[in-house]
Amino acid sequence: MARQYEEVTVRGYDEFMKAVSQRKGKDVFAYFSGSKNEQGASWCPDCVKAEPIVRGELSYLPPGSVFIYCQVGERPYWKDPNNEFKKTLKLSGVPTLLRYGTPQKLVEEECFKKDLVRMMFTED
């Protein structure tokens, strides 16, 4: 089945910014999650809970848009208030789902609400 959007997976701030800069002019949605270990489990329980909900709404993404799945790093890195995600991207928590370049974002428990996720993907 042809997907209407492009999915990109990145790890860490530099990879994220590189992926964004390579897609200038596109509608970029990003989901930030605590990194997963070799078993595929994340240290962030809310991220684990939100991911299937967010993925369940991906079919509502506008055609031609980009969905970046970004693993931010390990727990100690995330807890440091000076990490680049917090400092430069102004993220306050994980999971965060945002529309790059706009103030549209859903943080933590907001990501559990599939109607909010769908709203972000479908409204201007």
Partner 1 sequence: MAALCKWRHRLKPAGFFQNAVRRQLSDKYDYDLLVIGGGSGGLACSKEAAQFGKKVAVLDYVESSPKGTKWGLGGTCVNVGCIPKKLMHQAALLGGAVKDAHKYGWRIPSPITHDWLTMAPAVQDYIRSLNWGHRVQLQDKKVKYLNLKGSLMDGHTVKAVSKTGKESVLTAGNIVIATGGRPKYPTHIPGSLEYGISSDDIFWLKESPGKTLVVGASYVALECAGFLTGIGLDASVMVRSIPLRGFDQQIACLVTDYMGSYGTKFHWKCSPSKVEKLETGRLLVSWTDLDSGKEDQDTFDTVLWAVGRAPETRALNLEKVGVKMNRETGKVCVSADEATSVPHIYAIGDIADGRPELTPTAIQAGKLLARRLFGKSSELMDYDCVPTTVFTPLEYGSVGLSEEEAVRRHGEDGIEVFHAFYKPLEFTVAERDASQCYIKMVCLREGARRILGFHFTGPNAGEVTQGFALAIKCGATYTQLMATVGIHPTSAEEIIKLHITKRSGLDPTVTGC
Q: Quick check: 3 binds partner 1 (CB under 8 A)?
A: no
At residue 53's C-alpha, the angle toward residues 3 and 58, to 5°, is: 15
Q: Quick check: 53 binds partner 1 (CB under 8 A)?
A: no
Inter-residue contact 98 to 105 (CB < 8 Å): yes
Q: Quick check: 110 binds partner 1 (CB under 8 A)?
A: yes
To the nearest whole angstrom, how small is the minimum distance from the Cβ of residue 115 to partner 1? 6
Number of residues that bind partner 1 (CB under 8 A): 11
- From CA 114, how far away is CA 12, in angstroms rounded? 26
- From CA 89, how far away is CA 103, in angstroms rounded? 11
Q: Quick check: 116 binds partner 1 (CB under 8 A)?
A: yes
Catalytically annotated residue among 44, 54, 98, 117: 44
**Active-site residue list:** 44, 47
